[in-house]
């Protein structure tokens, strides 16, 4: 006998609508009002302004929906095969007895973030856009830099304070940008306009404070990375924490660990520069002192040289030497000898006779005395015995 035929057994009778309403009431009372769901998106589409999802873990699946009013606040819109972490609640459609997850917030899972990072990194690397040899040199003393970050933010406050402490001479241009969410086109547009460089920037800083790696997914964008890689002036990134690495970091000219570190890496330290100034001043002072001392010694040496080689002194020395030579020649002159009683004997041709052997008997000789000459004839020759 069936239960319907047994009047003694009391059973609750439902209509389909009443049954579904009871199930909905049980779910609303017995299930968490909000929960976190980790899943993979097997289907994603927007219909009539709403985002419809099919979520799976490989063993089971459930539908999900983000209403149009919620989509406006979402910072991530998933695609097929994206891993996601969802904050949501259960929706029970009483008319169809169908359960779905109403999405309040949705974020990429770390696996999705890393997957996108590797795909974009591999593509840009093959194209040669990720290459250390392409990095532009940072300016030593930048006159003007642009800072792209969220406004207001603690990261910006730290950068402004650090900039004032290190090098207040540099002019800062603050350009507000979104740093999380689906804002690739907006950020690309900002970078494209800055390429005109109407602010005459020497460098550009792209900064975002700390957060989870999933929050930095905007900076893994291929579109943004290409803009940074082709930027005409040096680009410095300070995104997230020291351990976080995005595609934007790879194509930038310099990657800093944090936003504050970006300012430290880009701006000189006035304390260090002041110390360098005093050291250089001392070195220059010592050099000039040594230089002038050496020049003074050189001039003294030159003065002594010119003094010893002056025309007057040279003439006096020449005069003294000439006088000495004159006296010497005068002392050795034949006239002196002739005055002492010596005579100069020559033959008729004027050849000096200095030996008896040079004459013969009957030769005519000229005898020169100090006061005149005589002519003599050789009568005889007498040789001295040796």
d(CA 283, CA 275): 12
Token pair for 7: 């009047």
Would you say 108 and 84 are in contact if contact means Cβ atoms under 8 Å apart?
Answer: yes
The mean predicted confidence, pLDDT, of the chain is 89
What domains are there in the chain, each with its CATH number? Answer: 3-108 (2.40.50.140), 113-268 (3.40.50.261), 343-377 (no CATH)
The pLDDT, as a whole number, for residue 302 is: 87
Would you say 217 and 74 are in contact if contact means Cβ atoms under 8 Å apart?
Answer: no
Higher per-residue confidence, 268 vs 377? 268
Side-by-side strand order, sheet with 254-256: 171-176, 144-149, 203-208, 235-239, 254-256
Q: What is the pLDDT of residues 245-288, one digit of tens each?
A: 999 999 999 999 999 999 999 999 999 999 999 999 999 999 99
Distances, alpha carbon 14 to alpha carbons 18, 24, 248, in Å = 5, 14, 60
Length of the chain: 386
The pLDDT, as a whole number, for residue 264 is: 97
Task: Find the farthest-apart pair of alpha carbons in the chain and give their distance in angstroms, rounded.
Answer: 205
d(CA 75, CA 209): 17
Kindly report which listed range (89-93, 122-126, 292-296) carries the lowest average pLDDT score.
89-93
Tally Cβ neighbours within 10 Å of residue 94: 16
Kindly report which listed range (35-49, 237-251, 314-328) carries the lowest average pLDDT score.
314-328
Token pair for 301: 């040496």
Would you say 23 and 97 are in contact if contact means Cβ atoms under 8 Å apart?
Answer: yes
Beta bridge mates, 368: 344, 373
Q: What is the pLDDT of residues 200-246, one digit of tens each?
A: 999 999 999 988 888 899 999 999 999 999 999 999 999 998 889 99
Token pair for 123: 């593509």
In the structure, what pLDDT confidence band is assigned to residue 128 with cuts at 50, 70 and 90?
A: very high
In the structure, what pLDDT confidence band is assigned to residue 4 with cuts at 50, 70 and 90?
A: low
The pLDDT, as a whole number, for residue 342 is: 80
Residues 263-281: b if buried by 16+ CB within 10 A, e if exposed:
bbebbbeeeeeeeeeeeee
| Average pLDDT of the residues in 126-135 | 94
Burial class for 49, CB neighbours closer than 10 Å (0-12, 13-18, 19+): exposed
**Strand 344-347 vs strand 254-256: parallel, antiparallel, or unpaired?**
unpaired
In the structure, what pLDDT confidence band is assigned to residue 2 with cuts at 50, 70 and 90?
A: low
| Cis peptide upstream of residue 152 (ω within 30 degrees of 0) | yes
In the structure, what pLDDT confidence band is assigned to residue 386 with cuts at 50, 70 and 90?
A: low
Distances, alpha carbon 241 to alpha carbons 37, 152, 300, 313, in Å = 27, 19, 67, 84
- Confidence (pTM): 0.66
Token pair for 293: 């001392």
Spatial neighbors of 169 by CB under 8 A, at least 6 apart, are 141, 143
Q: What is the pLDDT of residues 155-192, one digit of tens each?
A: 999 999 999 999 999 999 999 999 988 899 999 999 99
- pLDDT of 6 > 70? The answer is no
Would you say 128 and 98 are in contact if contact means Cβ atoms under 8 Å apart?
Answer: no
d(CA 251, CA 40): 30
The pLDDT, as a whole number, for residue 366 is: 87
Q: What is the pLDDT of residues 50-83, one digit of tens each?
A: 999 999 998 999 999 999 999 988 888 898 989 9
In the structure, what pLDDT confidence band is assigned to residue 1 with cuts at 50, 70 and 90?
A: very low
d(CA 16, CA 94): 9
């Amino acid at each position: 006998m069936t239960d319907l035929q047994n009047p003694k057994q009391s059973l609750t009778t439902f209509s389909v609508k009443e049954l579904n309403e009871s199930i909905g009431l049980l779910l609303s009372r017995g299930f968490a009002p909000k929960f976190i769901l980790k899943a993979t998106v097997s289907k994603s589409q927007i219909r009539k302004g709403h985002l419809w999802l099919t979520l799976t873990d490989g063993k089971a699946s459930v539908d999900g929906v983000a209403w149009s009013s919620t989509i406006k606040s979402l910072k991530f819109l998933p695609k097929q095969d994206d891993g996601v972490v969802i904050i949501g609640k259960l929706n029970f459609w009483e008319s169809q007895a169908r359960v779905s997850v109403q999405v309040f917030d949705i974020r990429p899972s770390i696996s999705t973030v890393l997957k996108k990072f590797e795909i974009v990194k591999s593509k840009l690397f093959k194209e040669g856009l990720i290459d250390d040899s392409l990095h532009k040199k940072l300016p030593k003393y930048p006159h003007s830099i642009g800072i792209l970050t969220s406004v207001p933010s603690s990261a910006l406050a730290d950068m402004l304070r650090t900039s004032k402490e290190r090098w207040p001479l540099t002019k800062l241009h603050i350009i507000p940008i979104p740093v999380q969410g689906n804002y690739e086109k907006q950020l690309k547009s900002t970078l494209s306009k800055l390429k005109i460089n109407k602010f005459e920037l020497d460098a550009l800083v792209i900064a975002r404070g700390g957060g989870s790696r999933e929050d930095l997914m905007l900076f893994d964008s291929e579109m943004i990375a290409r803009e940074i890689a082709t930027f005409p002036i040096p680009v410095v990134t300070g995104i997230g924490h020291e351990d976080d690495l995005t595609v934007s970091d790879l194509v930038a000219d310099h990657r800093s660990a944090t936003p504050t570190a970006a300012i430290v890496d880009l701006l000189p330290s006035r304390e260090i520069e002041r110390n360098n100034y005093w050291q250089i001043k001392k070195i220059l002072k010592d050099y000039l002192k040594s230089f002038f001392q050496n020049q003074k010694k050189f001039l003294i040496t030159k003065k002594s040289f010119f003094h010893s080689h002056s025309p007057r002194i040279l003439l006096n020395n020449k005069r003294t030497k000439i006088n000495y030579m004159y006296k010497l020649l005068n002392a050795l002159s034949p006239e002196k000898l002739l005055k002492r009683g010596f005579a100069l004997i020559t033959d008729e041709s004027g050849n000096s006779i200095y030996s008896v052997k040079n004459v013969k008997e009957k030769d005519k000789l000229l005898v020169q005395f100090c006061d005149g000459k005589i002519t003599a004839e050789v009568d005889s020759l007498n040789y001295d015995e040796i």
